[in-house]
Structure 1
Amino acid sequence: MGILVIGSLNMDMVVRTDRAPQAGETLMGRSFSLSPGGKGANQAVAAARLGGDVTMAGTVGDDAFGRELRDIMEREGIHTEFLRTSASSPTGVASIVVEESGENRILIVPGANLELSAEDLKGMEELIAGADMLVLQLESDYNMTVKAAGLAHKHGVPVILNPAPAKEIGPEILPYITYLTPNETEVALMAGMPVQNPSDAEKAARILLGKGARHVIVTLGSKGALIVTEEGAEVIAGYPAKVVDTVAAGDSFNGALAVQLAKGLSLREAVGFANAVGALTVGREGAIPSLPDREETERFLRERAKA
């Protein structure tokens, strides 16, 4: 069937400014825009643009934002049979402040995203069982996310969990996870230890392996990504990039990882490709608008190979 993404769809309200305000401070921003996003939607579109056969499952509101997000999924060729419309909750939104440096601060109001429950998955078990890869995040109902991972594990379907937004998770879900993809902040929180360098990241990742995750891939920004397994650890180098906006960088990485692994590439090869996708994503504004397609990514890789 291809790649199944179960997760969030949001409309991003993006303010660009020289710097984020301090507590009690008012600043003038430089621009405002609405941009479709949400970690689930971002990862689904990233995978679809890179050649994946993608199904998106989640919930939007019966409002203008929800209709726009559904239209975008369909225009990208994503299957939406399991994208529900809530009769009572609005579409999720994210308020994003993007500084001149490209760094961002995000506040999410999940809205309809929380309506897809563990109980609802009873009607989706066949869908999950037929997937080549299940992709999950932590912007939706947590019990539903745990249930989805458990169903995939039951049917032998590999699971990618992008543990964002950061929160503590443990043995209720980690034994179901084939590929755990935290950034440095997230791996530190989950492992309960400070992470200030790749050596710390490896120690933290090994704690999570001990709790059941099979592979941990710690994203390191421009430095690339650290793969940690029971067999060893390796940093897969990243690509220098001019950072315009880091929104969706992690999501593009996860979408790319899902596509390459579903195609049968090795984890090392898949992570190298995903690093390139992430580098392209941070060079543009917005979430979904910043996601590259396969042709652009392969051209980028060819150019870097000649350099």
Structure 2
Amino acid sequence: MSKILVVGSLNLDYVIEVENMPKAGETIFGKSLKKIPGGKGANQAYSIGKLGGDVAMIGAVGDDDAGQILLNNLKSVNVDTSGIEIVNDNVTGQAYIYVDDNGQNCITVISGANAVVDRDMIDRNMELIDDAEYVVMQLEVPIDTVKYVKDIAISKGKKVIIDPAPAIKNPDTNLWRGCYIIKPNELELATLTGKKLNNIEEYKKAAIELQKTGADFVISTLGGDGAIAYDGENIKNFDCKKTTVVDTTAAGDTFTAGLVIGLNEGKSIEEAINFGQSAAAITVSRKGAQTSIPSRDEIQ
């Protein structure tokens, strides 16, 4: 099976459980605080590794305890961490995540070492791109680096999947040109297209609009409404896998991991989406980021 490369962020998540989300100017008491390995890039790499994929990662951590926690956690599921550099005089990325009693979350990210993932770092780890069939990215490292990797990967015949989170208002649409898959959730789809989206038909129209910017596929996850996929000709609906929602953290990252694992194993787009949905359904039934990600045996 060909190698998958993830280029992206690594954060140590500080997860704060609350009854309800705090409002502006409001002071509330949290129920608990946990430190959990996270970051969208690391979540995806960890999930791919735990699902049995041959995966490497390019990214950066600080020279601190948080960085070692993240590296050790990735190594525990056989992620190739040779492309993750330890940056002196910088802190490891951090995320502060509020999770309420309904399982919904809001997240504040401190970039830290993620902000220094630059072209030079990519050049130093070019062999990892050469070895990959699929290159997976998000938007928690500098956009210039994402564009650079995308252009190099496409020129080398790799299939690029971008999870556009956090979404950017009025993005340079050239960022999507030549990508194999763009995978926004419903909120990111609205931000990227500059539209208010309220129902499945509006989501479909937005996906069609986004695909016209140059990606082969737009696959959008819609929470309880399942997912949609558009390939430039046909748009398909995928029903949500039923589960009890405890915490939605890392659900999208697990879906992306399941999707790319499925494609790398020769599954069709439809089969890969269903596999990603099954993985994400288990993730949302548990608390935390990487601590909630299932194994291959659990999905099967």
Alpha-carbon distance between aligned partners in 2 of 1:240 and 1:265, rounded to the nearest angstrom: 22
Report 1:208-287 matches (<5 A): 208-287=210-289
Q: Which residue is 1:184 aligned to?
A: 186
What secondary structure is seen at the aligned counterpart in 2 of 1:244?
coil
The alpha carbon displacement at 1:175 in A equals 0.7
The alpha carbon displacement at 1:85 in A equals 0.2
Q: Which residue is 1:147 aligned to?
A: 148
Q: Which residue is 1:197 aligned to?
A: 199
Tell whether 2:45 aligns with 1:44. yes
Task: Give the letter aligned to residue 208 of structure 2.
Answer: R
Query: What TM-score results when the alignment is normalised by the length of structure 1?
Result: 0.95
The alpha carbon displacement at 1:229 in A equals 1.3
Task: Give the letter aligned to residue 65 of structure 1.
Answer: A
Q: After TM superposition, what 4+ stretches of structure 1 lie above 6 angstroms from structure 2?
A: none
Q: Which residue is 1:92 aligned to?
A: 93
Percentage of matched positions with identical amino acids: 38
Q: Which residue is 1:107 aligned to?
A: 108
Alpha-carbon distance between aligned partners in 1 of 2:51 and 2:224, rounded to the nearest angstrom: 21
What secondary structure is seen at the aligned counterpart in 2 of 1:176?
coil
The alpha carbon displacement at 1:118 in A equals 2.1
Listed as ranges, the gaps of 5+ residues in structure 1 are 299-307
Contact 1:150 1:173 (C-alpha < 8 Å) held by counterparts? no
Contact 1:138 1:145 (C-alpha < 8 Å) held by counterparts? yes
Query: What TM-score results when the alignment is normalised by the length of structure 2?
Result: 0.97
Alpha-carbon distance between aligned partners in 2 of 1:124 and 1:156, rounded to the nearest angstrom: 17
What secondary structure is seen at the aligned counterpart in 1 of 2:125?
helix
Task: Give the letter aligned to residue 166 of structure 1.
Answer: A
Task: Give the letter aligned to residue 215 of structure 1.
Answer: F
**Alignment length, in residue pairs?**
298
The alpha carbon displacement at 1:119 in A equals 3.1
Alpha-carbon distance between aligned partners in 2 of 1:175 and 1:128, rounded to the nearest angstrom: 19
Listed as ranges, the gaps of 5+ residues in structure 2 are none
The alpha carbon displacement at 1:120 in A equals 2.5
Q: Which residue is 2:17 aligned to?
A: 16
What secondary structure is seen at the aligned counterpart in 2 of 1:119?
helix
Q: CA-to-partner distance for each residue in 1:202-239, whole Å, 9 max, x for gaps? A: 11111111111110001011322100111210011121
Aligned alpha-carbon RMSD (Å): 1.0
Q: Which residue is 1:26 aligned to?
A: 27
What secondary structure is seen at the aligned counterpart in 1 of 2:210?
helix
Q: Which residue is 2:63 aligned to?
A: 62
Task: Give the letter aligned to residue 44 of structure 1.
Answer: A
What secondary structure is seen at the aligned counterpart in 2 of 1:132?
strand
Deviates more, 1:229-238 or 1:118-127: 118-127
Contact 1:20 1:99 (C-alpha < 8 Å) held by counterparts? yes
